[in-house]
Amino acid sequence: MAFNIIVCAKQVMDPETPASAFNVDENARRVIPAQGIPPVVNGFDENAVEAALKIKESIDDTTVTVISTGTEFVMDVMKKPLSMGADNMVLVQDDACADLDAFSTVRILTKMIGRLGDFDLIICGQQASDWDNAHVPLGISEILGLPCLTEVRAIEIGDGTVTVNSSRSDGYEVFESPMPALITVNNEVGQPRYPTLRGIMQASRKTPEILSIEDVGLNSKDLTPVITLSDLFVPTSDKQCEILEGENDADSGRLLALRLREEKII
Amino acid sequence: MTEILILAELEGGVLHSSAGELLAAGRKLGDEMGADVSAAVLGESTDDAAREAIILGADHVYTASHPILTEGLADGQIAALEQICAETSPLAVLTAKTPLGRSVGPRLAYRLDSGVAQDCMDVTGDNTTGRITVTRPVYGGNAMAKFTFADNNPQVVVLRVKAFEPLEPNPERSGDVKSIDVTIDDSQIKAKLVETVKEESEGVKLEDAGVIIGGGRGLGGPEPFEQLEELAKLFNGAVGASRAVCDAGWQDHSYQIGLTGKTVTPDIYITVGISGASQHMAGCSASKNIIAINKDGDANIFKEASFGVVGDWEKVLPSFTATIRELLSS
């Protein structure tokens, strides 16, 4: 029997972008993309792709479909999940998707999911490294009425059920739910695999399906924000680091410890 | 009177530490917006916890006792909160960024078709518009953003743990406790808890540690982490690591601090060989004191640290550890 997994993935600014290259247009309340640093697929979303591919390896006839929404996709970047081994990709690419709040993103993604037909699992990264809202997957589960399993580090598929280990600070909790279900994963679910040469070749022959918001049954009025960005700024730090300098490195280490005691930090 | 409702989580029958922080934030919003502060205490035998919530700032407490609620699962808590919201129409709902609160808050907002902001460091309320504005870090802490809620209530705010100091407990405070008869049945619990597994880790867990020693790429390999463990033990602290370290396999990913790892707020965070990339700082910038040992004086970590040494960690760390040992034993 066919097993269908939908993975939600987001194109984000590379979080490794050095702070010096990070700039904000305060008037437009927008982050200015760093010159020469291409975007990446959100880290946790790559973990989600990895989790889906592990299931695909263990269950015959599994299809992994990756979906996303945005204004301008860099295809070489967005096709990475396909190179890793995902089967299909559907993107809503539309100017109306500029500066969406998470609620509008949820509206679009749930409409896209509705178009895809039957599925068994939706797997998402637990949060995105740009706006860090960490609630798009939760919203999808609520709108679609799905069981919601969060911060998952291990997934096991049973007969019509899914069992997961959810990370907790002192261990993990095991949850079981019927399928279809929505799962958010963290980095402990497994390192995203590197695309193989064969994978890259296969992905190069695949064309993501590109849709507009009208194609999924929405118009720009449906994307009215429920929360509005009113200010965006780079925080200034007036922190001064006191550098301890001794006769040599070992001496500096000793001075550092003494200084911390003097300041009653230790 | 309009209300700011907070979800007071329970841990072993008593209020979780986050409840006091939420009540302090709720009190601030209530004063600014002319609203009362109410607390939802959901579980079994909630009397003591309800009293404690009043002492910490609640005007009203809604208790709901149900065996399902005792398990503290998101599905049950949301169902109960949904019913309390239907009865009390709060202006806002505040939850903590705990494993439970960060799931319950957003899901409640979507269920009630209102709005939510996660990981908020600050909140302000406008008395005229009845709207709340939150401040939260975005882009891994590279930028701060303020968001203002549109028209729908309840405005759901998920507050970062330790962002607010609890109010001074006042045993003289009075408030009323109302028991809400919630109807919850098993069918609403879609994700069933099968088992809770505690993992025996040596020493203190990262999220609870008062002192954390963090190791980065600059250490050059997995072996030096023994020295970090040694230092951490002196403080009864924990060892963490940067993403580069975990990606290289020098440490398990459960050690990872940062945007794609854990968020920690120790009193002292001592970094060794960590450059302080923004994605790392996103997980530790709320530490009270950051101390840096790094050979590159231009490294970003020195912009965040209050004390540091520019030097070779292999020489700095042993004498630092030895001196700390002396100081702590004297």
Chain A residue at shortest CA distance from B109: A139
Query: Which residue, among B249, B99, B232, has the nearest Cα to A169 in the 3D structure?
Result: B99
Q: Which residues of A215-248 are buried (b: 16+ CB within 10 A; e: fewer)?
A: ebebeeeebebbbbbeebeeeeeeeebebbebee
Chain B residue at shortest CA distance from A135: B106
User: What is the predicted pLDDT for the residue at A235?
Assistant: 84
Cα dihedral A229, A234, A235, A239, rounded to 10, equals 170
Percent of chain B with pLDDT over 70: 99
Q: How far apart are CA B219 and CA B230, in angstroms?
A: 15
User: What is the predicted pLDDT for the residue at B162?
Assistant: 84
In this predicted model, what pLDDT tens digit does every residue of A17-69 receive, in sequence order?
A: 887 888 999 999 999 988 899 999 999 999 999 999 999 999 999 999 999 99
Is the CB of residue A15 less than 8 Å away from at least one CB of chain B?
Answer: yes
User: Which chain B positions have a beta carbon within 8 Å of A15's beta carbon?
Assistant: 139-140, 259-260, 278-279
Query: Which residue, among B238, B227, B210, has the nearest Cα to B313 in the 3D structure?
Result: B227
CA atoms within a 13 Å half-sphere pointing along the CA-CB vector of A191: 13
CA atoms within a 13 Å half-sphere pointing along the CA-CB vector of B111: 21
Cα dihedral B85, B90, B92, B98, rounded to 10, equals -40
Contact A195, B106 (CB under 8 A): no
Is the CB of residue A148 less than 8 Å away from at least one CB of chain B?
Answer: yes
Percent of chain A with pLDDT over 70: 100
Provide the 8-state DSSP code for B257.
B
In this predicted model, what pLDDT tens digit does every residue of B83-124 receive, in sequence order?
A: 999 999 999 999 999 999 999 999 999 999 999 999 999 999
Is the CB of residue A234 less than 8 Å away from at least one CB of chain B?
Answer: yes
Measure CB to CB from residue B115 to each of A227, A253, A261 and give the nearest one. Answer: A227
Is the CB of residue B121 less than 8 Å away from at least one CB of chain A?
Answer: no
User: Which chain A positions have a beta carbon within 8 Å of B150's beta carbon?
Assistant: 224-228
How far the first Cα of chain A sits from its last, in Å, is: 61
| pLDDT category of residue A170 using cuts at 50, 70 and 90 | confident
Q: Which amino acid is at B14?
A: V
> Helix B47-55 and helix B17-33: axis angle, to 10°?
50
Contact B139 A22 (CB under 8 A): yes
User: What is the predicted pLDDT for the residue at B66?
Assistant: 86
Q: Which amino acid is at B311?
A: G
* Average pLDDT over all residues of chain B: 93
User: At which residue do the structure tokens 């958010």 appear?
Assistant: A184
User: At which residue do the structure tokens 């005229």 appear?
Assistant: B128
User: What is the predicted pLDDT for the residue at A20?
Assistant: 81
Q: Judging by beta carbons within 10 Å of its beta carbon (0-12, 13-18, 19+), is residue A155 exposed, middle or buried?
A: buried
Chain B residue at shortest CA distance from A125: B260
CA atoms within a 13 Å half-sphere pointing along the CA-CB vector of B180: 26
Q: Judging by beta carbons within 10 Å of its beta carbon (0-12, 13-18, 19+), is residue B86 exposed, middle or buried?
A: exposed
Q: Measure in Å the smallest separation between the Cα of B174 and chain A Cα atoms.
A: 35
Q: How far apart are CA B69 and CA A118, in angstroms?
A: 32
Angle (CA) B220 B223 B226, round 5°: 125
Is the CB of residue B122 less than 8 Å away from at least one CB of chain A?
Answer: no
Q: Measure in Å the smallest separation between the Cα of B153 and chain A Cα atoms.
A: 10
Number of H helices, E strands in chain B: 10, 18
User: What is the predicted pLDDT for the residue at B12?
Assistant: 83
| pLDDT category of residue B200 using cuts at 50, 70 and 90 | confident
Q: Give SS3 for A237.
A: coil
Measure CB to CB from residue A249 to each of B235, B311, B328 and give the nearest one. Answer: B311
Disruptive mutation site among B78, B93, B116, B131 for chain A (greatest number of A CBs within 10 Å) = B116
Structure-block tokens of residue A36: 């020469």
How many inter-chain contacts (A to B, CB under 8 Å) are there?
269
Is the CB of residue A233 less than 8 Å away from at least one CB of chain B?
Answer: yes
Over range A190-204, report the average pLDDT. Answer: 95
User: At which residue do the structure tokens 């695949």 appear?
Assistant: A206
Domain boundaries, chain A: 3-223, 238-266
Contact A239 B306 (CB under 8 A): yes
The answer to whether residue B202 scores a pLDDT higher than 70 is no
User: Which chain B positions have a beta carbon within 8 Å of A224's beta carbon?
Assistant: 150
Is the CB of residue B248 less than 8 Å away from at least one CB of chain A?
Answer: no
Measure CB to CB from residue B110 to each of A138, A187, A234 and give the nearest one. Answer: A138
Is the CB of residue B118 less than 8 Å away from at least one CB of chain A?
Answer: yes
Is the CB of residue B83 less than 8 Å away from at least one CB of chain A?
Answer: no
Cα-flanking dihedrals φ and ψ of residue B254, to 5°?
Answer: -70, -15
Q: Measure in Å the smallest separation between the Cα of B102 and chain A Cα atoms.
A: 8
User: At which residue do the structure tokens 């963490």 appear?
Assistant: B240
What would you report as the CA-atom Rg of chain A, rounded to the nearest whole angstrom? 22
Measure CB to CB from residue B317 to each of A135, A243, A253 and give the nearest one. Answer: A253
DSSP letters of B187-207? Answer: GG--SEEEEEEE---SSS-GG
Domain boundaries, chain B: 3-188, 206-329
Provide the 8-state DSSP code for B261.
S
| Integer CA distances (angstroms), A71 to A7, A222, B293, in order | 19, 16, 42
Query: Which residue, among B93, B107, B94, has the nearest Cα to A143 in the 3D structure?
Result: B107
In this predicted model, what pLDDT tens digit does every residue of B150-161 receive, in sequence order?
A: 999 999 999 998
Structure-block tokens of residue A144: 């679609």
Is the CB of residue B2 less than 8 Å away from at least one CB of chain A?
Answer: no
Same fold, B3-188 and B206-329: yes
Contact B269, B290 (CB under 8 A): yes
In this predicted model, what pLDDT tens digit does every residue of B37-60 receive, in sequence order?
A: 999 999 877 789 999 999 999 999
CATH dotted code for B206-329:
3.40.50.1220
Q: How far apart are CA A260 and CA B235, in angstroms?
A: 13
Contact A73, A94 (CB under 8 A): no
Over range A121-139, report the average pLDDT. Answer: 95
* Average pLDDT over all residues of chain A: 95
Query: Which residue, among A202, A169, A144, has the nearest Cα to B254 in the 3D structure?
Result: A169
Structure-block tokens of residue A257: 């410890």
Contact B74 A148 (CB under 8 A): yes
In this predicted model, what pLDDT tens digit does every residue of A204-257 receive, in sequence order?
A: 999 999 999 999 999 999 999 999 999 999 987 777 899 999 999 999 999 999
How far the first Cα of chain B sits from its last, in Å, is: 57
Q: How far apart are CA A178 and CA A182, in angstroms?
A: 10
What would you report as the CA-atom Rg of chain B, rounded to the nearest whole angstrom? 22
Disruptive mutation site among A127, A155, A260, A264 for chain B (greatest number of B CBs within 10 Å) = A260
Contact B205 A175 (CB under 8 A): no
This model of the complex carries an ipTM of: 0.93
Domain A3-223 bears CATH identifier 3.40.50.620: yes
Disruptive mutation site among A46, A121, A142, A191 for chain B (greatest number of B CBs within 10 Å) = A142
User: What is the predicted pLDDT for the residue at B229?
Assistant: 96
User: At which residue do the structure tokens 């740009």 appear?
Assistant: A130
Disruptive mutation site among A224, A254, A262 for chain B (greatest number of B CBs within 10 Å) = A254
The answer for residues whose C-beta is within 8 angstroms of residue A71's C-beta and 6 or more apart is: A93, A94, A95, A97, A98
Percent of chain B with pLDDT over 90: 80
| pLDDT category of residue B201 using cuts at 50, 70 and 90 | low
User: Which chain B positions have a beta carbon within 8 Å of A132's beta carbon?
Assistant: 118-119, 136-140, 259
Beta-strand pair A30-32/A23-25: antiparallel
Query: Which residue, among A127, A120, A115, has the nearest Cα to A147 in the 3D structure?
Result: A120
Class of domain B3-188: alpha beta
Over range A148-152, report the average pLDDT. Answer: 97
Contact B316 A174 (CB under 8 A): no
The answer to whether residue B260 scores a pLDDT higher than 80 is no
**Counting every residue, how long is chain B?**
330
In this predicted model, what pLDDT tens digit does every residue of B287-318 receive, in sequence order?
A: 999 999 999 999 989 999 999 999 999 999 99
Contact A142 B107 (CB under 8 A): yes
